[in-house]
Structure 1
Amino acid sequence: MDTGGMAWLLISAALVLLMTPGLAFFYGGMVKEKSVISMMMLSFGSMGLVIVLWILYGHSMSAVSGESFFQFAGNPFEDFAMTSLVDDNEGLAGSAFGATFAIITTALVSGAIADRAKFSSWMIFAGVFATLVYFPVAAWVWGGGWIMQLGEAMGFEGIEVIDYAGGTAVHINAGAAALALAIVLGRRHGFEKGILKPHNVPLVLIGTALLWFGWFGFNVGAEGTANLIEGVPGLIFINTMAAPAAGILGWILIERIRNGRPTSIGAASGAIAGLVAITPACAVLTPGWALLLGFVSGVLCCLAVELKFKLGFDDSLDVVGLHLVGGLIGSIFPGLFAFETGLFTGGDASQLLVQVIASVAVLVYSFVVSFVVASVIQKTVGFRIRHEDEVAGVDVVVHGETGYALAR
């Protein structure tokens, strides 16, 4: 690898790592003022834990050896603590980039349980989720596993599942786990439409800006250093601008129609919806289709976040509406409009079929495992804080801190 390629790989890893503190700001501004420390700590706790697990065995689990279609994950003890990579500069840099994806995926889940979760129980869940869900799914999608082999196994010549930077492995995965946790932990005190509002809108917008900035490392970094000149990094970059921009317009249009006024929270959410949707498809769409994808995701995700009130599950910060729904839209869209292989762009139904199979498989697997793990935690050490502690405020009860110490 040349020096320019190595520099871009390391910068991309740093950009994606920055996304998790950005997520902490985004989530932290959304909750009540007496829960902001707790909410942000769920992201920072994920950073500490997942990096350690990745170095110990996650790196080894996230790629399979051989060509067997049925391998679950790599051997966690094959290169324990990355011993064999000590002298492999390129391998270490690539692994660092992979670690940042594991961190942000785990942290995303925490938005579903804002205002009511024990930190210690979250850390248990985060460690098990990373081990049993994220690391194996990453192996399926990018590490030579069954999703990578699906098109060939089904006899579709030249067809592979398109998940460029994490529609299934990151967003559907996190969204399905978030739905499971929201169901297990139940509703917050006072859960009702219009009751629970963001306590710090500027903090949400700062978080959105950091996430969008980091997303260029997320998507363009996944292009790989070998393809920076001959590949399509320029296309990926412009699509990572186009989709969230259109997502903003789609979301605030629905707000304007439904409520009579667009909101800054809606604009931020629309940007995230577009970013989520473009993630798997950023390298296989023309900018025009990226604009359409972003707009559609902004509209549909805006409508989807209302489902929690109709269906009765308390997904506190709309992880399901943004990441599960947005991830599904973005993962299926290439089956319709990807270069040459999309149903409406020169291909047939083969691309669409493998996209749907991969998306549904990850959704079901992540939901089932997360539901079982969360249920076990809830029935043993307890996952949810006491009702009176929730009313008093998670920050003081769990962490002994307050987000805002005002002078008197």
Structure 2
Amino acid sequence: MDISAGDTAWVLISAALVLLMTPGLAFFYGGMVRAKSVLNMIMMSIVTMGVVGVLWVLVGFSLVFGDSIGGVIGNPFDFPGLVALLDEGAVVDTIPTLAFVGFQAAFAVIAVALVSGAVADRMRFSAWIVFAALWALLVYFPAAHWVFAFDGSVSEHGGFIANTIGALDFAGGTAIHINAGAAALALCLVLGPRLGFRASPMRPHNLPFVMLGAALLWFGWFGFNAGSALGANQTAAFAYVNTIAAPAAGMLAWLVVERLRDGRPTSLGAASGIVAGLVGITPAADSVTPLGALVIGILSGVGASLAIGLKNRLGYDDSLDVVGVHLVAGLIGTLSIGLLADPAAPAGEAGLLFGGGLGLLGAEALSAGAVLGYSFVMTSIIALVLKGVMGGRLRVSSHDESRGIDVAEHAETSYDFSLLPYSKQHVKSSIVVPATAETKEEVSQ
């Protein structure tokens, strides 16, 4: 098949947009933690770009899109180091395979980075790096193979969810959001709650960061969803509009819940509602109409806003609500396909409300359950093994957690509140006077 310059350009742009989502996530998460933890939170996302990027080139793409071994995992020896894909004739649909490699690499990065929000303030940076590498290899790459590897796309045989169960997941509701949400729950249970959880206020330290992060995520999500069409075509346009509709409705729905429940809508709620709507529409972007996208956005916004209160009642410390937003909204979006899929949408499937029966809903539920269960169990095993092997190195000490993980893990602080040089006389004074050349000389003496 001939390569389309337009399709290739759109996929390359989309790959860049999706990659931008990880720094966006860093700001989104970074703003929600306390000031003493923001650098560590941002670094957990940024270092994931390095860890997963290297693994993707070495073996990740092969594990996801290599010829399937029993529908469970790709052959790691098909594309190691991507050497076999350097031929100009290697194509996926109408784009070079290497463009597809770059696009999927950005998906892998943000899937792993999402999990970090559940363990803010307390996980050692070195432990996170090891966990991120193992989780990518043992959890994300297999799940992505199940969902994204279609027979005949890159290799002859693909994963069992895409080809045997036949579930629809356009851009990763199961492989990314349900997967990350289940992993977040398992990891925070193994790690334990933060000091002062449910006893001390742990408010976001920088809401403008949160809003900036949400804006970058929404911007990048157009590449996430519309780019998954792998071409500049009607499906991409459909997904693009749905990626406007669902987060808009999700934001408004979250604000309404806050107004009714708490008396005031908040900027944190608006940002969270946007993300919930984006998560909800991700698996369904090509299977529902824009009206269906509005419904999914509303359900995701309401469902996620109510779900985040569970951590206080059940006692698990999901610091930044990865479970409440990504797992819950991911489940809502995935299951909604079985109800709201419209034959008029590009996927051409009919959900229960459009006369399609229970078959599609059952396939969506089975795929969601398979990924959720595998991710939770395997993440628990990884975390427990690391806890046993690393001992006390999995979590920072109580002293370091109290004084701030930024200083303890990175020897840095996010905000420098130190004063300009002042004379001893001025420091003692209740009136702060900026230092002059004379006072600077006095201090130096």
| TM-score, normalisation: structure 2 | 0.87
Could you tell me which of 130, 135, 150 is aligned with 2:136?
A: 130
- Helix, strand or coil at the partner of 2:352: coil
Distance 2:360 2:25 in 1: 32
Q: Which amino acid aligns with 2:169?
A: D
**Mean Cα deviation higher: 375-384 or 210-219:** 375-384
Distance 2:60 2:77 in 1: 10
Q: Aligned in 2, Cα 1:287/1:193: closer, same or farther, shift over 3 Å?
A: farther
Could you tell me which of 217, 227, 230 is aligned with 1:211?
A: 217
- Helix, strand or coil at the partner of 1:339: coil
Deviations 1:132-191 (A, max 9, x none): 11111111001121001234xxxxxxxx31100000000000000000011001110111
Q: Does 1:187 align with 2:193?
A: yes
**Mean Cα deviation higher: 80-89 or 316-325:** 80-89
Aligned residue for 1:374?
A: 383
What are the equivalent positions in structure 2 for 1:29-48 lying under 5 Å apart? 29-48=31-50
Q: Is the 8 A contact 1:193 1:309 kept in 2?
A: no
- Helix, strand or coil at the partner of 2:395: coil
Q: Does 1:288 align with 2:291?
A: yes
Paired residues, number: 395
Q: Is the 8 A contact 2:161 2:167 kept in 1?
A: yes
Q: Which amino acid aligns with 1:87?
A: D
Q: Which amino acid aligns with 1:257?
A: L
Distance 1:335 1:383 in 2: 40
Aligned residue for 1:146?
A: 160
Q: Is the 8 A contact 2:251 2:269 kept in 1?
A: yes
Distance 1:316 1:202 in 2: 19
Q: Is the 8 A contact 2:11 2:100 kept in 1?
A: yes
Could you tell me which of 372, 390, 395 is aligned with 2:401?
A: 390
Distance 2:245 2:361 in 1: 23
What are the equivalent positions in structure 2 for 1:222-261 lying under 5 Å apart? 222-225=228-231, 228-229=232-233, 231-261=234-264
Query: Relative CO higher for 1 or 2, CA cutoff 8 Å, sep ≥ 6?
Result: 1
**Mean Cα deviation higher: 197-206 or 70-79:** 70-79
- Helix, strand or coil at the partner of 2:284: coil
What are the equivalent positions in structure 2 for 1:243-392 lying under 5 Å apart? 243-340=246-343, 341-381=350-390, 382-392=393-403
Aligned residue for 1:103?
A: 109
Alpha-carbon shift at residue 77 of structure 1 (Å): 2.4
Distance 1:252 1:236 in 2: 24
Q: Does 1:168 align with 2:168?
A: no
Distance 2:224 2:25 in 1: 14
Distance 1:379 1:390 in 2: 21
Distance 1:289 1:5 in 2: 27
Alpha-carbon shift at residue 194 of structure 1 (Å): 7.1
- Helix, strand or coil at the partner of 1:333: helix
Q: Which amino acid aligns with 1:55?
A: V
Distance 2:77 2:44 in 1: 28
Q: Does 1:58 align with 2:60?
A: yes
Identity of aligned residues (%): 52
Distance 1:33 1:379 in 2: 31
- Helix, strand or coil at the partner of 2:36: coil
Q: Is the 8 A contact 2:66 2:76 kept in 1?
A: no
Q: Which amino acid aligns with 1:81?
A: G
Aligned residue for 2:425?
A: none
Distance 1:106 1:357 in 2: 23
Aligned residue for 2:27?
A: 25
Alpha-carbon shift at residue 352 of structure 1 (Å): 0.2
Alpha-carbon shift at residue 78 of structure 1 (Å): 2.1
Distance 2:241 2:191 in 1: 40
Deviations 1:366-387 (A, max 9, x none): 0000011011111221311111
Deviations 1:229-253 (A, max 9, x none): 3x32222111100000000111011
Distance 2:315 2:302 in 1: 22
Q: Which amino acid aligns with 2:365?
A: V
Structure 1 unpaired stretches of 5+: 152-159
Structure showing greater Rg: 2
Alpha-carbon shift at residue 64 of structure 1 (Å): 4.5
Deviations 1:32-60 (A, max 9, x none): 10100000110011100000000000000
Aligned residue for 2:51?
A: 49
Alpha-carbon shift at residue 2 of structure 1 (Å): 1.9
Aligned residue for 2:122?
A: 116
**Mean Cα deviation higher: 375-384 or 6-15:** 375-384
Alpha-carbon shift at residue 406 of structure 1 (Å): 2.4
Aligned residue for 1:221?
A: 227
Q: Is the 8 A contact 1:115 1:390 kept in 2?
A: yes
Q: Which amino acid aligns with 1:355?
A: E
Distance 1:107 1:171 in 2: 11
Distance 2:288 2:273 in 1: 20
Q: Does 1:177 align with 2:166?
A: no
Q: Which amino acid aligns with 1:145?
A: G
| TM-score, normalisation: structure 1 | 0.95
Distance 2:119 2:81 in 1: 31
Q: Is the 8 A contact 1:64 1:145 kept in 2?
A: no
